[in-house]
Amino acid sequence: MKQANSRSVTAHLTYGDEYFGPQGPYEVDEAWWSAAAPVVERLTQELGVPVVVLRLAGVADGEGGNGGHVVYHVEALERPAGLVPRQAGPDTAALLGPAERRAGWATPAGLRDTLDWAEQALDRAGRPSAGRPEQIRTWNLSGLFRYRTATGGDAWLKATNPAFNADEGDVIALLGSADPTLVPPVLGSDPERGRLLIDHVPGEDCWGPSAEEVADVVPRLVAAQAALAADGRAASAGLRDRTLPTLVAQVNTLIDRLAAEPGGELTAGERDAARALAARLPALVAELAGCGLPDTLVHGDFHPGNWRSDGTDGTRVVVVDFADSCLGHPALDGLRPRQYVAEERWAQVAEVWARAWRDHVPGSAPERALELVEPLYHLMYAVRYQEFLDHIEASERPYHEGDPVSELRMALACADQV
């Protein structure tokens, strides 16, 4: 699929209980549906009042989270002058009205409460806000906002759904207890509502990581994971259970569910192959356990886009975004960078990761673990994507519709090679 370069946008504008009609359509250069900043910038300029994107309300023609024509619910933070409220028609009222599984930050009241909490947390941290936050990203999994602070520097607010995400504040504290330099400083945390406020980490996301960045962050993560496994901190931390026996049970449930869906995406042959793979998993898990690596804190999405580096000599890479964290097999993290880097860099990642685990667990077989874990890696993501779909409202399902089946197919494709 070719990625689009832009999207067109229509915004249904509200201010509290008042509806001001659709705005647009506008063309914006950023194609990703979750990229709120260009939408906010355009509408704020047009309307003369600050606005926030609450959620995706509909999409046509786009695919894979980008392109096409996107409809949003947008809330004005001040009443727009010059616009007259109107009665929303039945279809629009249904579109903007309450819905099951709506994210807490995706309603006018919930969003205002979240921003108020962040400002209070900044005050408590001695870093008061210097103005309204900049909305960076909002979608079914999280809302992300950047605050300028009166003392200088930025802070970042992240809102997630606690029903299916890790308590990132606790995970950061856990990993930081093994290596404080590996994680961002936390300025505030509200796990009950899925809110996290962190200090700014200088630099850029490592989408094209250098050899030096790989050599820094991969062994440090392994060292922290080994330490948390050795003293039992990972096992006793209350993390989501993705240990391999539990994962196998979750996979069996998912396969039964996908196979039973009338008119589902799986063909009859794929259903048979999936059940055959499920029958093989206990033996695969036993062989993987024989590689000698311990269950530990797993980041859950350890790709280079979640590494931050300023690119200077001697820099230490910081890891971010712990919403997918769990207790599981460390090879699930070890394999994650492969699809995001060139072959040469992946060879380095694999070698550095394996060497680090051999150093911490003499006699282990990490290279073999990376080979064996691949089907389970894809199956874990199939389970995770189904969790997303089960906990998000219907209008935002296009972000992840079809992802569980896609990951299951990738597991089937690689299963015969291990």
Q: Judge whether 380 lies within some domain.
A: yes
Pairwise CA distance, residues 326 & 384, whole Å = 11
318 pLDDT above the threshold of 90: yes
Rounded to the nearest integer, the mean pLDDT of the chain is: 95
The two structure tokens encoding residue 142 = 């999280």
The pLDDT of residue 1 is above 60: no
1 is a domain residue: no
In a shared domain, residues 367 and 393 = yes
pLDDT, one tens digit per residue, over 15-46 is: 999 999 999 999 999 999 999 999 999 999 99
Cα separation, 66 vs 57, whole angstroms: 14
Q: What is the pLDDT of residue 2?
A: 61
2 lies in some domain: no
- 314 has pLDDT over 90: no
Describe the chain by its helix, strand, coil percentages, rounded to 5.
45, 20, 35
- Residues 298, 326 contacting (CB under 8 angstroms): yes
Q: Is residue 190 part of a domain?
A: yes
- The count of structural domains within the chain is 3
307 and 211: one domain?
A: yes
Question: Do residues 135 and 40 touch, judged by C-beta distance below 8 A?
Answer: yes
The last residue of one of the domains, among 175, 199, 223, is 199
Q: Tokens representing 128?
A: 């008061």
Residue 236 belongs to domain with CATH number: 3.90.1200.10
Report the amino acid identity of residue 128. P
Let me know if residue 173 belongs to a domain: yes
Does one domain contain both 366 and 386?
A: yes
- State whether 62 and 144 are in the same domain: no
Do 81 and 195 fall into the same domain?
Answer: no
Please check whether residue 273 lies inside any domain of the structure.
yes
So what's the pLDDT on residue 317? 96
* Residue 111 shares a structural domain with residue 260: no
What are the residues facing 328 on neighbouring strands? 296
Q: Are residues 209 and 193 in the same domain?
A: no
- Mean pLDDT over 333-362 rounds to 98
| Residues 45, 124 within the same domain | no
Mean pLDDT, range 309-332, rounded to an integer: 93
Helices (H), 3-135: 37-47, 90-96, 108-124
**φ, ψ of residue 107 in degrees (nearest 5):** -125, 155
Domain final position from 74, 97, 120: 97
Residues 186 and 282 grouped into a single domain: no
pLDDT score, position 418: 82
CA distance 87 to 77: 20
CATH of the domain at 23: 3.90.79.10
- 80-92 pLDDT, tens digit each: 998 999 999 999 9
Final residue of a structural domain among 35, 62, 97:
97
Residue 353 lies in a domain: yes
Average pLDDT estimate for 341-359:
98
Same domain, residue pair 195 and 217: no
The DSSP call for residue 100 is: T
pLDDT of res. 5 = 85
Q: What is the 3-state secondary structure (H, E, C) of 219-255?
A: HHHHHHHHHHHHCCCCCCCCCCECCHHHHHHHHHHHH
Q: Are residues 362 and 214 in the same domain?
A: yes
Q: Whole domain around residue 126: which residue ranges?
A: 106-199
Identify the pLDDT of residue 51.
97
Mean pLDDT, range 104-130, rounded to an integer: 96
Residues 298 and 411 in one domain: yes
What average pLDDT score do residues 318-333 get? 98
| pLDDT of 167 above 60 | yes
CATH number of residue 172's parent domain: 3.30.200.20
> Residue 335 above 90 pLDDT?
yes
> Any bridge partners for residue 145, and if so which?
135, 157
CA 35 distance to own-chain centroid: 14
The helix/strand/coil state of 265 is: coil
More confident residue, 63 or 378: 378
